[in-house]
Amino acid sequence: MQKDDILRLLRDVNLIPSEKQTLLSNIAAQAAAMDMPCYIVGGFVRDLLLSKPVSDLDIIVEGDAVKFGNALVKKFGGKLTPHHKFHTAIWHLPETWNLVPGTLDLITARKETYERRGALPAVTPSTIKDDLLRRDFTINAMAIRLDGDHFGELLDPLNGQADLEEGLIRILHPRSFIDDPTRIFRAIRYEARYSFNLEHSTFGLINFESLDVIPRLSGERIRHEFDLIFEEEKSSQMILRAGELGLFKPIHPKLPLFNPDYSDFLEMDPTLDIPASRTAMGYMLWLMDSSEDEILSIGRRLDFTSELTYSVWAVSQLKKSLPFLTGSTPSVWTFALEKLPLLSIYVVYLVAREDALLDFLSLWRHVKPHTTGDDLKARGLEPGPRFGEILIQLRAAWLDGDVHSFDDELHLLEMWLK
Ligand code: CTP
Both 216 and 323 in one domain: the answer is no
Both 180 and 135 in one domain: the answer is no
Query: Is 82 domain-assigned?
Result: yes
* Three-class secondary structure of residue 54 per DSSP: coil
Cβ-Cβ contacts under 8 Å for 31 (sequence gap 6 or more): 37, 38, 61, 68, 146, 147, 148
Residue in 117, 177, 180, 186 to alter for ligand 1 test, most ligand atoms within 8 A of Cβ? 186
Q: Note the pLDDT of residue 112.
A: 79
Q: Note the pLDDT of residue 115.
A: 75
Q: Note the pLDDT of residue 267.
A: 73
Q: What is the average pLDDT value for the chain, to the nearest integer? A: 94
CATH number at residue 222: 1.10.110.30
Cα(395)–Cα(364) distance, integer angstroms: 10
Query: Is 284 domain-assigned?
Result: yes
Q: What average pLDDT does the segment 136-159 reach?
A: 96
Q: Note the pLDDT of residue 231.
A: 94
Q: What average pLDDT does the segment 162-181 reach?
A: 96
DSSP classification of residue 257 = P
User: Ligand 1: which residue has its CA nearest to atom 27?
Assistant: 43
User: Ligand 1: which residue has its CA nearest to atom 24?
Assistant: 43
Q: Note the pLDDT of residue 197.
A: 98
Domain boundary (109, 137, 163) is at: 163
DSSP classification of residue 120 = P
Both 195 and 288 in one domain: the answer is no
Both 107 and 185 in one domain: the answer is no
Query: Is 49 domain-assigned?
Result: yes
pLDDT band at 242 (very low <50, low <70, confident <90, very high): very high
Q: Which helix (H) or strand (E) holds 123?
A: strand 122-125
Cα(147)–Cα(33) distance, integer angstroms: 8
Rg (CA), the chain: 28
* Three-class secondary structure of residue 167 per DSSP: coil
Q: What average pLDDT does the segment 151-161 reach?
A: 97
Q: Note the pLDDT of residue 270.
A: 66
Query: Is 256 domain-assigned?
Result: no
Query: Is 41 domain-assigned?
Result: yes
Judge whether residue 118 has pLDDT over 80. no
Both 209 and 324 in one domain: the answer is no
Query: Is 257 domain-assigned?
Result: no
Please tell me the total number of residues recorded for the chain in this structure: 418
* Three-class secondary structure of residue 104 per DSSP: strand
Both 13 and 137 in one domain: the answer is yes
pLDDT band at 307 (very low <50, low <70, confident <90, very high): very high
User: Ligand 1: which residue has its CA nearest to atom 22?
Assistant: 43
CATH number at residue 109: 3.30.460.10
Domain total of the chain: 4
The parent domain of residue 306 ranges over 262-366
Query: Is 395 domain-assigned?
Result: yes
Q: What average pLDDT does the segment 53-62 reach?
A: 92
Both 116 and 157 in one domain: the answer is yes
Both 67 and 123 in one domain: the answer is yes
Cα(207)–Cα(196) distance, integer angstroms: 20
Judge whether residue 104 has pLDDT over 80. yes
Could you identify the atom of ligand 1 that is nearest to the CA of residue 43?
23
What spacing in Å lies between the alpha carbon of 316 and ligand 1's midpoint? 35
Both 74 and 140 in one domain: the answer is yes
Domain boundary (163, 188, 207) is at: 163
Percent of the chain scoring above 90 in pLDDT: 83
Could you identify the atom of ligand 1 that is nearest to the CA of residue 135?
7
Q: Cα 357 to chain center, whole Å?
A: 27
Q: Are strands 143-145 and 38-41 parallel, antiparallel or unpaired?
A: antiparallel
Q: What average pLDDT does the segment 202-213 reach?
A: 97
Q: What average pLDDT does the segment 175-190 reach?
A: 97
Q: Note the pLDDT of residue 1.
A: 85
Domain boundary (139, 163, 187) is at: 163
Cα–Cα distances (Å) from 380 to 372, 375, 387, 417, in that order, read 13, 9, 11, 10
Amino acid, res. 139: I
pLDDT band at 268 (very low <50, low <70, confident <90, very high): low
Q: Note the pLDDT of residue 200.
A: 97
Q: What average pLDDT does the segment 360-378 reach?
A: 92
Judge whether residue 88 has pLDDT over 90. yes
Cα(202)–Cα(172) distance, integer angstroms: 9
Ranges of H-type helices in 302-329: 306-325
372-416 pLDDT per residue, tens: 888 888 888 888 888 889 999 999 999 999 999 999 999 999 888
The residue among 176 and 116 whose pLDDT is bigger is 176
Both 31 and 145 in one domain: the answer is yes
Q: Note the pLDDT of residue 417.
A: 81
Query: Is 331 domain-assigned?
Result: yes
Both 9 and 137 in one domain: the answer is yes
248-264 pLDDT per residue, tens: 999 999 999 999 999 88
Cα(139)–Cα(162) distance, integer angstroms: 9
Residue in 135, 230, 232 to alter for ligand 1 test, most ligand atoms within 8 A of Cβ? 135
Closest C-alpha among 156, 165, 64 to residue 107: 64
Cα(59)–Cα(75) distance, integer angstroms: 17
Closest C-alpha among 365, 372, 362 to residue 335: 365
Both 10 and 111 in one domain: the answer is yes
What spacing in Å lies between the alpha carbon of 112 and ligand 1's midpoint? 15
Cα(19)–Cα(104) distance, integer angstroms: 14
